[in-house]
C-alpha cells in the first residue's frame, strides 16, 4: 500500500456505485488542526489485472469539516463499466484561513497493511484497544502503523487518525501484551466460574444434609428410649472419669475433617489438658493454609490475619509473607490499588514486592489520569521518580492541569503547570498564550513592568514582543525621569534595539557613572563606563577616571595596579611618562628585595630610562647565576647568551652548555648532547667528551654489526685512542664480506686502501684477479690473435666502467670484437648468425646506420598488404611463410631466393622497394 504522509486529509471508507445509486461515496478524515472547506481529487479507476481505465479530476466545494472530523463526499464516475478497483488521490486541500495544501512531487511512502482477518485474535485486540482496532501496531521502513491501521511518520509520537500516543499504543497493544491481558481476564472469568461452582456445590451439600437430618430424626424417634438410656449412662460415666478425654478425641476428629473452628473451640474448653493449647494453634494454622489455597481475596485476608497471629508457630512467619504476597497480587489484579499498595509496602523487600509496589502506584496513577484526576495522578507519578515512563507521565499531568486551567482562565495555575510540563505536546505554545493573558491582566491593572516581563515570556505569541517593548520602555523612561538610572538601564537593555532604547541605556549608565565619580567611587564608575565604549562623553570620562585612579594608586604605593591603568590609557595626558615611573618603581622594589627574576623584565621594558639598561644586566646576570647554581642549565644558557660579553657571561654560558651536554649524555639523550658539544669547538673538555661519545657510539654500532656506521665514526675520530685500528678492522671485515658476496671490485678497492694491514695486500691481489685478471688475460690474448669470438665470450658480462689504469685497455675491445666477428660472419655468408652480434652494439660505429639497414635484415618480420590479400613472415633462422606456404629464403642483392629446402632455393622475387616500414616484391 502507498500513502502520502503529508496529506492533511485521508480516505477512511468508500462505497461503489449501484444501479440505484450511481455515485461513489467516500468517507474522509480531516487530520489537520484547521477547517477544510474544499478539495481537489483525482479518481483513478482500474480494470482487470490493474489496467488503468481512466482518471477523473473533481473539485469539491462547500465543505466545513472541523479538525479531526470525518466528512463525506460523492463523485459521479464518467463511466463504471469494467471497473474493478478505484483509488482516490487528494491533490489539493483548501482551509478556512485561506491557506492551501498541495500534493508535492515526492514519491508516496509504501507500507504493509496490518489488518488482522476476522476471528478470535481480532476480537481480543478490540477487547483491549477498542472497536476501531484493525491490527497490532508495527514499525516498518519509513512509517509506524497504528492499531487503527493508519500509517504515520516515524518521527510522529501520536497517530494522526485516532490520536493514540505511539509509546502507549506499542506498550498496551503489542501482540504479547494483548495476549497477556486476555490471559489475565480469562483467569478472572475462570475464578468467577469456579466460585459459582463452589457455591452451587455448597447448596447441594446443604440440601443433602437437610434430607439426612430428617431421616435421622425418624430413626431417633424409634430408638429414643434406648438412646436416652445410653446417653444417661454415658453422661454418668463422663461425669465420673471420661469427659476431657471424649472432648479431646472429638476435637481431633473435627480437626481431621477440616472443622477447624469447632475443633478450636473444643481444644479451648480443655484448657491445659495434654497438648490442647498447641493443637488450638494447629487448628488456626491448618485453617489458614486451607483459606490461602483458595486464592480468594477474602480468604487470603483471613489467612494472613491467622498466620500473623500465630507468630513463630511452625513456618507461620514465612507463610504470612507468602499469603500476604498472594493477597497483594490479587488486590492489584482487582485494581484495589490502595489495599495492594499497603500490602506490598508491608512486605518490604520480599521477592519483587518493592517493584510491584511501584507498579501498583504507577497503575493507580494511570487510572487517576485516565479518569481526569490529574492532580492526584501527578502526586503519584512524582513519587515514582524514574520508574517506567513516570517522568513523562508527570509532564503529561502538568500539561493536562495547565491546559484545563487555561481553559478556565486560571492563568496563574496554567502558567505554573505548563512551565512544569516542558515541551510536552504544545505546552510551550500554550505557556506563551498563558503569559500573554497574564500580561494583559497586569497591563489592565497598570503594572507595566510585570506586564512587560510577561509579554517577553510570551515570545512570538501574537503581538507580545511589541507590547513587551512598549511596557518596559515606558517603565524605563519613568525610572530615568526619577534618576533611577540602574533600573532604567537594565530595562532599556532588555528591549534593545527597540526605538532608541540602546542609546538611552548608554545615557543611563553614563549618568550613573557620573554619580559614582562625584561620590569618589572611581572603580565602580570605571566598571560602568567600560560597558558603553560608543558613548563619546562616557569614553572621555572613562579615561579621566582611569587617570585619576592610576595617580591615586601610585601615590598609595600600588604601583602594579597603577601600571595596568596607565597601559590602558596609552598616550592620554602624561600617562606614558607616568607608566615609566611606576614601572621603574616596581623594578626598584623587586631589585632591592632581591627578586631579580621580577626586576629583569621590568628593567628591560624600560630600555634606557635612567639606569634601567645596567640594572637589567645586573638582574639578568643574577638570575642566570642562580639558574646555573640550581642546575637549570637551559635557562642559564639563554640568559647568559642574552647578556653577550657582560662580565664573564660568555665563560659561564660555555660552562652551562658543557654541563647540560654532560647531563644529557648521562640520561642517554646523545643526539642533543652531541649537538651542544659541537657548539663548543674551542673547548678542550667538550672535544674530549665529543670524542668519548663518538667512540662509544662507534663501539655500539660495531657490536650491533653496523660496520659501515662504525667505520664512519672511527674515521671521524682520527688518531683518538684506538680509533684508527678499529676503523681498519671494520673496513677489513666489510671488504671480506664484499669479497664473499662476489663484489670483488669493491673488495679490491677496500683491501688496497688498507695497505699493509694484516693480509690486506694478498687479499687485494686475489680480488684484483677475480675482478679483472680473470677476464683480461684470455681477452687480451684472443684479441691479439684475432679470435674475436673468444673475446666476445670472455667479456660478455664484464663491466667496463671504472677500470683501474692497469686494465684501461679493456675498455672498448668488447664492442670492437663484436663488430669484427659480425663482419667476419657476414662476409662468410652467415648473415643471420652475424645479426645477434650487430644487435649487441647498435650504437657502435655504423651498425645502426648501415649494417642493420641491409636488405637481408630489413626484410625480417611480418608483412601484410593494406587489402589483406598478401601476407608474409621472414625469420632470422632463414625460413619464411609466403601466402601460407613455408619456405626457406635468402636475400641476394635485390633478389629473393626461395625454396622448399636450402639446396633447392632459386630466384623467385625481386625486392623493388624495401625500408623499415615498406616492402615491394615482384
Q: Is 110 helix (H, G, I), strand (E, B) or coil?
A: strand
Which three three-digit cell numbers place residue 23? 455515485
Strand arrangement, sheet containing 138-140: 138-140, 143-145, 151-153
Does residue 97 carry a pLDDT above 50? yes
Question: C-alpha angle 436/442/443, rounded to 5°?
Answer: 85
Q: What is the DSSP string of 498-563?
A: STTHHHHHHHHHHHHHHHHHHTT-HHHHHHHHTT-TT-HHHHHHHHHHHHHHHHHHHHTT-HHHHH
Alpha carbons 376 and 419: distance in angstroms, whole number? 19
Closest CA to 509 of 526, 532, 491: 532
The β-bridge partners of 344 are none
Burial 727-755 (b: 16+ CB within 10 A, else e): bbbbbbbbbeebbeeeebbbbbbbbbebe
Count Cβ atoms within 10 A of the Cβ of residue 333 and give its class: 0-12 exposed, 13-18 middle, 19 or more buried: middle
CA distance between the termini of the chain:
82
pLDDT given for residue 234 in this prediction: 44
Task: List C-alpha distances in Å: 706 to 2, 99, 713, 758, 834.
Answer: 77, 87, 11, 22, 50
Cβ(407)–Cβ(433) below 8 Å: no
pLDDT tens digits for 794-847? 998 888 888 898 888 888 899 999 999 999 999 999 999 999 999 999 999 999
Which three three-digit cell numbers place residue 212? 439426612
Does residue 233 carry a pLDDT above 70? no
Q: What is the DSSP string of 489-501?
A: HHHHHHHTTSTTH
pLDDT tens digits for 413-472? 999 999 999 999 999 999 999 999 998 898 888 888 888 889 889 889 988 888 888 888
pLDDT band at 2 (very low <50, low <70, confident <90, very high): confident
- Give the range with max mean pLDDT: 199-203, 669-673, 767-771: 767-771
pLDDT tens digits for 106-157? 577 888 888 899 888 888 888 788 888 999 999 998 899 999 889 998 888 8
Alpha carbons 641 and 628: distance in angstroms, whole number? 13
Mean pLDDT (the chain) is: 87
pLDDT band at 294 (very low <50, low <70, confident <90, very high): confident
pLDDT given for residue 195 in this prediction: 57
Does residue 62 carry a pLDDT above 60? yes
pLDDT given for residue 202 in this prediction: 67
This model's pTM is above 0.85: no
H helices of 681-722, in order, are 684-703, 707-717
pLDDT given for residue 241 in this prediction: 38
pLDDT given for residue 33 in this prediction: 86
Alpha carbons 470 and 491: distance in angstroms, whole number? 11
pLDDT given for residue 221 in this prediction: 58
Does residue 792 carry a pLDDT above 90? yes
Q: Is 365 helix (H, G, I), strand (E, B) or coil?
A: helix
Angle between helices 260-269 and 276-294 (to 10 degrees): 170
Q: Is 3 helix (H, G, I), strand (E, B) or coil?
A: strand
Angle between helices 684-703 and 723-740 (to 10 degrees): 30
pLDDT tens digits for 215-230? 666 666 555 544 543 4
Cβ(653)–Cβ(659) below 8 Å: no
R_g of the chain, CA atoms, integer Å: 58
- Report which secondary-structure segment, H or E, holds 630: none
Does residue 491 carry a pLDDT above 50? yes
Query: Mean pLDDT lowest for which of 9-18, 192-201, 321-330, 750-759?
Result: 192-201
Cβ(393)–Cβ(370) below 8 Å: no
Cβ(639)–Cβ(627) below 8 Å: yes
Burial 651-671 (b: 16+ CB within 10 A, else e): ebbbbbbbbbbbebbeeeebe
Which three three-digit cell numbers place residue 893? 642483392
Contacts for 155 with CB less than 8 Å, ≥ 6 apart: none
Cβ(601)–Cβ(586) below 8 Å: no
Does residue 337 carry a pLDDT above 70? yes
- Please tell me what DSSP assigns to residue 107: P
- The percentage of the chain sitting over the pLDDT mark of 90, rounded to a whole number, equals 42
pLDDT band at 406 (very low <50, low <70, confident <90, very high): very high
Does residue 265 carry a pLDDT above 70? yes
pLDDT given for residue 222 in this prediction: 58
Tell me, letter by letter, the H, E, C secondary structure of 111-141: CCCCCCCCCHHHHHHHHHHCCCCCCCCEEEC
Contacts for 221 with CB less than 8 Å, ≥ 6 apart: none
Count CA atoms within 13 Å of residue 822 on its CB side.
Answer: 23
pLDDT given for residue 192 in this prediction: 47
- Report which secondary-structure segment, H or E, holds 37: strand 36-46
Contacts for 98 with CB less than 8 Å, ≥ 6 apart: none
pLDDT tens digits for 600-635? 998 888 888 888 889 999 999 999 999 989 999 999
Query: Mean pLDDT lowest for which of 232-236, 367-371, 499-503, 812-816?
Result: 232-236
Alpha carbons 486 and 662: distance in angstroms, whole number? 67
pLDDT given for residue 106 in this prediction: 59
pLDDT given for residue 883 in this prediction: 87
pLDDT tens digits for 852-904? 999 999 999 999 988 888 899 999 999 999 989 999 999 988 999 999 999 99
User: Which phi and psi angles does 632 have, rounded to 5°?
Assistant: -90, 75
Cβ(447)–Cβ(467) below 8 Å: no
Does residue 732 carry a pLDDT above 60? yes
Q: How many helices (H) and strands (E) does the chain have?
A: 38, 19
Task: List C-alpha distances in Å: 103 to 45, 95, 153, 509.
Answer: 20, 14, 16, 57
In this structure, the number of other CB atoms found within 10 A of the CB of residue 872 comes to 21
Does residue 181 carry a pLDDT above 80? no
The β-bridge partners of 54 are 45
Does residue 59 carry a pLDDT above 60? yes
Residues 38-52: what's their mean pLDDT? 85
pLDDT given for residue 50 in this prediction: 75
pLDDT given for residue 239 in this prediction: 41
Closest CA to 881 of 869, 891, 870, 892: 870
Does residue 57 carry a pLDDT above 50? yes
Query: Positive or negative, the Cα torsion across 260, 266, 271, 276?
Result: negative
Amino acid at each position: 500500500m502507498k500513502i502520502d504522509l503529508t496529506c492533511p486529509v485521508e480516505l477512511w471508507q468508500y462505497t461503489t456505485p449501484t444501479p440505484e445509486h450511481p455515485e461513489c461515496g467516500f468517507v474522509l478524515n480531516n487530520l489537520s488542526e484547521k477547517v477544510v472547506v474544499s478539495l481537489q481529487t483525482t479518481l483513478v479507476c482500474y480494470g482487470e489485472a490493474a489496467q488503468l481505465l481512466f482518471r477523473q479530476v473533481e473539485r469539491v466545494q462547500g465543505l466545513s469539516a472541523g479538525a479531526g472530523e470525518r466528512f463525506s463526499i460523492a463523485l459521479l464516475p464518467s463511466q463504471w463499466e469494467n471497473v474493478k478497483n478505484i483509488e482516490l488521490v487528494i491533490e489539493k486541500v483548501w482551509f478556512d484561513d485561506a491557506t492551501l495544501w498541495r500534493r508535492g512531487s515526492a514519491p508516496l511512502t509504501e507500507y504493509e497493511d496490518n489488518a488482522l482477518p476476522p476471528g478470535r485474535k481480532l476480537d481480543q485486540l478490540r477487547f483491549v484497544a477498542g472497536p476501531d482496532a484493525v491490527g497490532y501496531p508495527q514499525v516498518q521502513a519509513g512509517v509506524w502503523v497504528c492499531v487503527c491501521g493508519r500509517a504515520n511518520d516515524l518521527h510522529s509520537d501520536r497517530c494522526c487518525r485516532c490520536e493514540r500516543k505511539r509509546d502507549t499504543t506499542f506498550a498496551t497493544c503489542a501482540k504479547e501484551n494483548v495476549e497477556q491481558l486476555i490471559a489475565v481476564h480469562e483467569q478472572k472469568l475462570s475464578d468467577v466460574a469456579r466460585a459459582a461452582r463452589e457455591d452451587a456445590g455448597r447448596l447441594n451439600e446443604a440440601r443433602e444434609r437437610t434430607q439426612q437430618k430428617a431421616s435421622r430424626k425418624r430413626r431417633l424417634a424409634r430408638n429414643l428410649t434406648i438412646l436416652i438410656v445410653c446417653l444417661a449412662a454415658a453422661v454418668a460415666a463422663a461425669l465420673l472419669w471420661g469427659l476431657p478425654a471424649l472432648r479431646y478425641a472429638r476435637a481431633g476428629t473435627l480437626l481431621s475433617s477440616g472443622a477447624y473452628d469447632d475443633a478450636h473451640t473444643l481444644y479451648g474448653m480443655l484448657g491445659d489438658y495434654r497438648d490442647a493449647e498447641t493443637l488450638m494453634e494447629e487448628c488456626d494454622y491448618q485453617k489458614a493454609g486451607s483459606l490461602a489455597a483458595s486464592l480468594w481475596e477474602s480468604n487470603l485476608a483471613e489467612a494472613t490475619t491467622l498466620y500473623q497471629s500465630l507468630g513463630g508457630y511452625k513456618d507461620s512467619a514465612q507463610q504470612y509473607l507468602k499469603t500476604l504476597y498472594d493477597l497483594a497480587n490479587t488486590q492489584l489484579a482487582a485494581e484495589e490499588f490502595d489495599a495492594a499498595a499497603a500490602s506490598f509496602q508491608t512486605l518490604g523487600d520480599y521477592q519483587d514486592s518493592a517493584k510491584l509496589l511501584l507498579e501498583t502506584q504507577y497503575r493507580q496513577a494511570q487510572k487517576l489520569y485516565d479518569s481526569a484526576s490529574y492532580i492526584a495522578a501527578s502526586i503519584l507519578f512524582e513519587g515514582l521518580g524514574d520508574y517506567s515512563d513516570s517522568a513523562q507521565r508527570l509532564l503529561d499531568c502538568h500539561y493536562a492541569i495547565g491546559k484545563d486551567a487555561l481553559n478556565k482562565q486560571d492563568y496563574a495555575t496554567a502558567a505554573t503547570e505548563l512551565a512544569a510540563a516542558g515541551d510536552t505536546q504544545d505546552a510551550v505554545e500554550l505557556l506563551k498564550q498563558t503569559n500573554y493573558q497574564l500580561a494583559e491582566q497586569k497591563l489592565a491593572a497598570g503594572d507595566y513592568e510585570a506586564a512587560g516581563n510577561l509579554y517577553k515570556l510570551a515570545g512570538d505569541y501574537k503581538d507580545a514582543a511589541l507590547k513587551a517593548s512598549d511596557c518596559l520602555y515606558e517603565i524605563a523612561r519613568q525610572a530615568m525621569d526619577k534618576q533611577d538610572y540602574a533600573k532604567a538601564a537594565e530595562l532599556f537593555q532588555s528591549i534593545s534595539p527597540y526605538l532608541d532604547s540602546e542609546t538611552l541605556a548608554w545615557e543611563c549608565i553614563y549618568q550613573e557613572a557620573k554619580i559614582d565619580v562625584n561620590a569618589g567611587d572611581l572603580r565602580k564608575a570605571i566598571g560602568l563606563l567600560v560597558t558603553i565604549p560608543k558613548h563619546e562623553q562616557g569614553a572621555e570620562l572613562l579615561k579621566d577616571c582611569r587617570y585619576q585612579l592610576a595617580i591615586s594608586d601610585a601615590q598609595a604605593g600600588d604601583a602594579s595596579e597603577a601600571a595596568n591603568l596607565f597601559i590602558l590609557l596609552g598616550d592620554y595626558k602624561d600617562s606614558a611618562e607616568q607608566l615609566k615611573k611606576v614601572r621603574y618603581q616596581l623594578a626598584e622594589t623587586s631589585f632591592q628585595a632581591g627578586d631579580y627574576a621580577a626586576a629583569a623584565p621590568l628593567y628591560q621594558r624600560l630600555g634606557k630610562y635612567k639606569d634601567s639598561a645596567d640594572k637589567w644586566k645586573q638582574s639578568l646576570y643574577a638570575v642566570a647565576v642562580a639558574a646555573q647554581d640550581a642546575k637549570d642549565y637551559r635557562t642559564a644558557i639563554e640568559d647568559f647568551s642574552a647578556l653577550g660579553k657582560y662580565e664573564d657571561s660568555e665563560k659561564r654560558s660555555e660552562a652551562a652548555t658543557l654541563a647540560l651536554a654532560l647531563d644529557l649524555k648521562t640520561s642517554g639523550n646523545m643526539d642533543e648532547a652531541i649537538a651542544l658539544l659541537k657548539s663548543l669547538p674551542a673547548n678542550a673538555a667538550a672535544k674530549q667528551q665529543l670524542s668519548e661519545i663518538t667512540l662509544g657510539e662507534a663501539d655500539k654500532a660495531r657490536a650491533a654489526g653496523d660496520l659501515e656506521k662504525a667505520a664512519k665514526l672511527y674515521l671521524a675520530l682520527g688518531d683518538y685512542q684506538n680509533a684508527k685500528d678499529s676503523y681498519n678492522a671494520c673496513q677489513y671485515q666489510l671488504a671480506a664480506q664484499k669479497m664473499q658476496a662476489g663484489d670483488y671490485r669493491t673488495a679490491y678497492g677496500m683491501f688496497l686502501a688498507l695497505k699493509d694491514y694484516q693480509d690486506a695486500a694478498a687479499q687485494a691481489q686475489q680480488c684484483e684477479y677475480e675482478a679483472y685478471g680473470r677476464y683480461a688475460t684470455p681477452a687480451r690474448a684472443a684479441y691479439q690473435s684475432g679470435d674475436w669470438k673468444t673475446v666476445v665470450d670472455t667479456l660478455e658480462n664484464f663491466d667496463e666502467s671504472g677500470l683501474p689504469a692497469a686494465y684501461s685497455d679493456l675498455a672498448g675491445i668488447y664492442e670492437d670484437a663484436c663488430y669484427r666477428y659480425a663482419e667476419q660472419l657476414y662476409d662468410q655468408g652467415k648473415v643471420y648468425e652475424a645479426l645477434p652480434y650487430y644487435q649487441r652494439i647498435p650504437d657502435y660505429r655504423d651498425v645502426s646506420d648501415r649494417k642493420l639497414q641491409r636488405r637481408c635484415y630489413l626484410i625480417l618480420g611480418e608483412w601484410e598488404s593494406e587489402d589483406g590479400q598478401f601476407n608474409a613472415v621472414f625469420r632470422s633462422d632463414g625460413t619464411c611463410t609466403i601466402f601460407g606456404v613455408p619456405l626457406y629464403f635468402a636475400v641476394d642483392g635485390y633478389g629473393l631466393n626461395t625454396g622448399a629446402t636450402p639446396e633447392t632455393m632459386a630466384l623467385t622475387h625481386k625486392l623493388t622497394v624495401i625500408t623499415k616500414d615498406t616492402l615491394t616484391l615482384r
